[in-house]
């Protein structure tokens, strides 16, 4: 019957059948992919999840990752394992997650500075910012300007004067971290001579200050609170607009007339950008539930993490605002890798 049709008609029918079969195959493929994605989202997590902390054990990022992981593990009955991949201002851990499958089993915990400062000072980055997307900005935190008591320095003005006269060695959690940026800003804004000494995280930078290996530092307050309470570190100022409730006797840089030294750091989680949106939303929902846990929020409070809870576009915009500010500061201060 088909062969009895005119040649032109037969060609049209064949072409129509080919298109119809192709469309059916494509529809089936899309449906299959959607079903696979849906199954993956519904079953997440079905195996251990890596929480890659881009900074050293014992530091604020590590504390937050472990706290969130404990809550999620309890809720899902699947292991959430913190894996510290430190160095290069968070680049090593971030690159690890950027190159991991976008299946929800590798999540980055880190600081905004890996994305807001590092691209400005490293000649080349192992990943692009666009390779990762923020899921949640959990918290913010100010920094603490402090010194070893053996320096004899008691105030921020004395600190600046000593820097101008003799120079100071300041430790930080590494290149591209808030402490590195603060040291550069301090030099530019006050004329103090600062020799920046990078370490692999706040914990080793703090130990260097305690031992007298460096004069001081502008370091995450989480690493410093217990040492300040024990009198082993002399606090000079917090880098926030107002005083820190956990350090009520320590003045802010604003009230001391050094608003240009104001600085904060954001704690956030990122996933590969190619992750399906439904899976991102499920992970985000898990984080939002974790942030309602009273014990975790108290752990954050005593470690001086101010709750933010930003997700989606709000999280991205918050990080971008700091990136814009730091770009201007880096250009003005000449901040770079030594």
DSSP for residue 83: E
Assess contact for 91 and 52: CB atoms under 8 A.
no
Assess contact for 270 and 53: CB atoms under 8 A.
no
The domains spanning 49-140+265-333 and 142-261 adopt the same CATH topology: yes
Tracing tokens 């692009």 back to the chain, one arrives at 128
Give the pLDDT score at 330.
79
pLDDT digits (tens, 9 = 90+) for 220-275: 887 788 999 999 999 999 998 899 999 999 999 999 999 888 888 999 999 999 99
Give the pLDDT score at 219.
87
Question: 31: pLDDT confidence band, cut at 50, 70 and 90?
Answer: low
Decide if pLDDT at 14 tops 90. no
Least confident of 32-46, 181-195, 214-228, 276-290: 32-46
Half-sphere exposure of 38 (CA within 13 A, CB side): 6
Q: What is the reported pTM?
A: 0.81
Give the pLDDT score at 27.
58
Q: Where are the domains of the chain?
A: 49-140+265-333, 142-261
Decide if pLDDT at 2 tops 60. no
How much is the average pLDDT of 32-52?
Answer: 81
Fold for domain 142-261? Answer: D-Maltodextrin-Binding Protein; domain 2 (3.40.190)
Mean per-residue pLDDT of the chain: 89
Instruction: Please tell us whether the domain made up of 49-140+265-333 is placed in CATH 3.40.50.300.
Output: no
CB proximity list for 72: less than 8 A, separation 6 or greater: 49, 80, 286, 290
Decide if pLDDT at 45 tops 90. yes
């Amino acid at each position: 019957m088909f062969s009895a049709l005119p040649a032109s008609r037969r060609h049209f029918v064949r072409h129509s059948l080919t298109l119809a079969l192709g469309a059916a195959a494509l529809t089936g493929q899309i449906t299959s992919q959607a079903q696979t994605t849906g199954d993956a989202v519904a079953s997440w997590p079905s195996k251990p999840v890596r929480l890659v902390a881009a900074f050293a054990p014992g530091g604020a990022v590590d504390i937050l990752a472990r706290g969130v992981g404990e809550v999620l593990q309890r809720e899902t009955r699947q292991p959430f394992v913190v894996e510290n991949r430190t160095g290069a201002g968070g680049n090593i851990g971030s690159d690890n997650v950027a190159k991991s499958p976008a299946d929800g089993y590798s999540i980055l915990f880190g600081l905004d500075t890996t994305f807001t400062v590092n691209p400005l000072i490293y000649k080349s980055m192992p990943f692009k910012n666009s390779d990762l997307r923020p899921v949640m900005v959990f918290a913010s935190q100010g920094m603490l300007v402090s010194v070893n008591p053996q320096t004899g320095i008691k105030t921020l003005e004395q600190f600046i004067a000593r820097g101008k006269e003799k120079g100071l060695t300041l430790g930080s959690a590494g290149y591209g971290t808030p402490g590195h940026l603060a040291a550069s800003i301090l030099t530019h804004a006050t004329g103090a001579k600062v020799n920046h000494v990078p370490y692999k995280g706040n914990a080793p930078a703090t130990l260097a200050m305690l031992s007298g290996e460096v004069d001081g530092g502008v370091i995450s307050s989480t690493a410093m609170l217990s040492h300040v309470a024990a009198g082993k570190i002399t606090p000079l100022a917090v880098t926030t607009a107002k005083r820190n409730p956990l350090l009520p006797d320590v003045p802010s840089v604003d009230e001391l007339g050094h608003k240009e030294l104001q600085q904060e750091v954001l704690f956030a989680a990122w996933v590969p950008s190619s992750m399906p949106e439904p899976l991102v939303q499920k992970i985000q929902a898990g984080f939002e539930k974790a942030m309602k846990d009273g014990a975790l929020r108290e752990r954050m409070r005593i470690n001086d993490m101010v709750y933010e809870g930003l997700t989606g576009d709000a999280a991205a915009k918050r990080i971008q605002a700091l990136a814009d500010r730091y770009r201007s500061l880096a250009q003005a201060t000449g901040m770079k890798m030594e």
